[in-house]
Amino acid sequence: MRVLVTGATGYVGRAVVCELRVHGHEPVLSRQRLSEPFDLSGVDAVIHLAGAARVRESFLDPLSYYETNVAGTLNLLKALEGQRFLLASTAGVYRPSDSPLTEESVREPSSPYAATKAAAEDLVAWAARSGRIGATTLRLFNVAGGGDADTSRVITRAVACAAGTVPGMEVYGDGTAVRDFVHVRDVAAAFVVALEACSVGESSVYNVGGTPASVRDVLSAVAEVTGRSVDVTWQPAHPGEVRFQRADVSRLLALGWKPHFTSLTEIVRDQWLASAPAPGPGPSR
């Protein structure tokens, strides 16, 4: 298939482009802004990864987030007729729960960013129901590994601290809050599996995660892999902090998805090898 990839030069986008090529598809790298008209007559599918994705920033400028993430998705959908459309969404659309989250769990976005993703999900689902497209939404949990450069992410930040490339990290709360992590290459594999299963007129949703761990688990794994401790400044927990977030990925596994990085240590080690082949001195243990 000939597949347009928005956000193709980004962290997840680069991995998706590589995975598409491995499986014999032809990725088309979009360099258009989402506000511009699209001519998608020459592609079989779209994987939509581009968008604004900073949770805290979205509280300061919610209108621009709606303009980019919702209106931008709508602009793409207007150019499609009879093709497949895959949307990158977020686990942030879910209401917090002490139980593993399934695709049927209640949506209750807690930020403007997550709210824009929920709105985009609805757009693509209704477009599929009309028969215009085939739609698949992938709700990504905490993507990590593969040389991620975004040090706002916990694994990336902790590894960078161990490498000595950033001075330290702040942890809010006692470090026992659990998050669900997934390697970026396993995310890319999920997009390809979902692409090949997508059918016009149908709409599907899949969780993409599978490796739950606390912040303290991450710090311990980084120390184990790198032989270096992480300089942490402990801060009071944010009000309303989600204490537990875990993905039920049984639906994606049943589709044929086979993740290769299934332990926290593997994900941390890959981030360390990819981003710090010649690490600085870092803090000593």
At residue 83, the pLDDT reads 98
Residue in this structure with the two tokens 């959908």, named with its chain if needed = 77
- Whether residues 10 and 61 share a domain: the answer is yes
- Whether residues 40 and 168 share a domain: the answer is no
Calculate ∠ Cα 45-51-53, nearest 5°: 135
- Whether residues 150 and 54 share a domain: the answer is no
Per residue in 196-222, pLDDT (tens digit) is 999 999 999 999 999 999 999 999 999
- Whether residues 68 and 203 share a domain: the answer is yes
% of the chain surpassing 90 pLDDT: 90
Two structure tokens written together for 281? 């001195």
Q: Is the pLDDT of residue 282 over 50?
A: no
- pLDDT confidence band for 279 (50 / 70 / 90): very low
Instruction: Report the C-alpha dihedral over residues 200, 142, 121, 97, rounded to 10 degrees.
Output: 120
Calculate ∠ Cα 96-100-103, nearest 5°: 85
CATH at residue 169: 3.90.25.10
State the average pLDDT over residues 112-125: 98
Q: Residue 72 sits in which domain range?
A: 2-141+184-208
Contact by Cβ (8 Å): 195, 135: no
Q: Which of 88, 5, 1, 85 is nearest to 44 (CA)?
A: 1
DSSP 180: E
Q: Is residue 170 part of a domain?
A: yes
At residue 242, the pLDDT reads 83
Contact by Cβ (8 Å): 110, 240: yes
The structure's pTM equals: 0.94
Q: Is the pLDDT of residue 256 over 80?
A: yes
Q: Is residue 230 part of a domain?
A: yes
Q: Is the pLDDT of residue 284 over 50?
A: no
Q: In what order do the strands lie in the sheet with 45-48?
A: 26-29, 2-6, 45-48, 84-90, 134-140, 203-208
Q: Is residue 14 part of a domain?
A: yes
Q: Is residue 251 part of a domain?
A: no
At residue 31, the pLDDT reads 80
Two structure tokens written together for 226? 């790198």
DSSP-derived 3-state class of residue 132: coil
Distance CA 30, CA 103 (A): 29
Q: Is residue 253 part of a domain?
A: no
% of the chain surpassing 70 pLDDT: 96
Residue in this structure with the two tokens 């039920």, named with its chain if needed = 248
At residue 276, the pLDDT reads 65
At residue 239, the pLDDT reads 74
State the average pLDDT over residues 71-94: 97
- Tell me the DSSP string of 223-276: HHHHS----EEEEPPPTT---B--B--HHHHHHT---S--SHHHHHHHHHHHH-
At residue 105, the pLDDT reads 98
State the average pLDDT over residues 16-34: 95
- pLDDT confidence band for 43 (50 / 70 / 90): very high
CATH at residue 202: 3.40.50.720
- Whether residues 133 and 9 share a domain: the answer is yes
At residue 19, the pLDDT reads 98
- Whether residues 126 and 217 share a domain: the answer is no
Q: Which of 186, 87, 159, 158 is nearest to 127 (CA)?
A: 87
Q: How many residues does the chain have?
A: 285
State the average pLDDT over residues 86-107: 97
State the average pLDDT over residues 134-149: 97
Q: Is residue 10 part of a domain?
A: yes
- Whether residues 149 and 133 share a domain: the answer is no
Number of domains in the chain: 2
- Whether residues 15 and 73 share a domain: the answer is yes
Q: Is residue 61 part of a domain?
A: yes
At residue 115, the pLDDT reads 98
- Phi, psi dihedrals of residue 227, rounded to the nearest 5°: 75, 15
CB atoms within 10 A of CB 104: 9
Distance CA 181, CA 190 (A): 14
Catalytic residues: 113
Contact by Cβ (8 Å): 140, 10: no
Instruction: Report the C-alpha dihedral over residues 73, 33, 146, 107, rounded to 10 degrees.
Output: -20
- Phi, psi dihedrals of residue 93, rounded to the nearest 5°: -75, -15
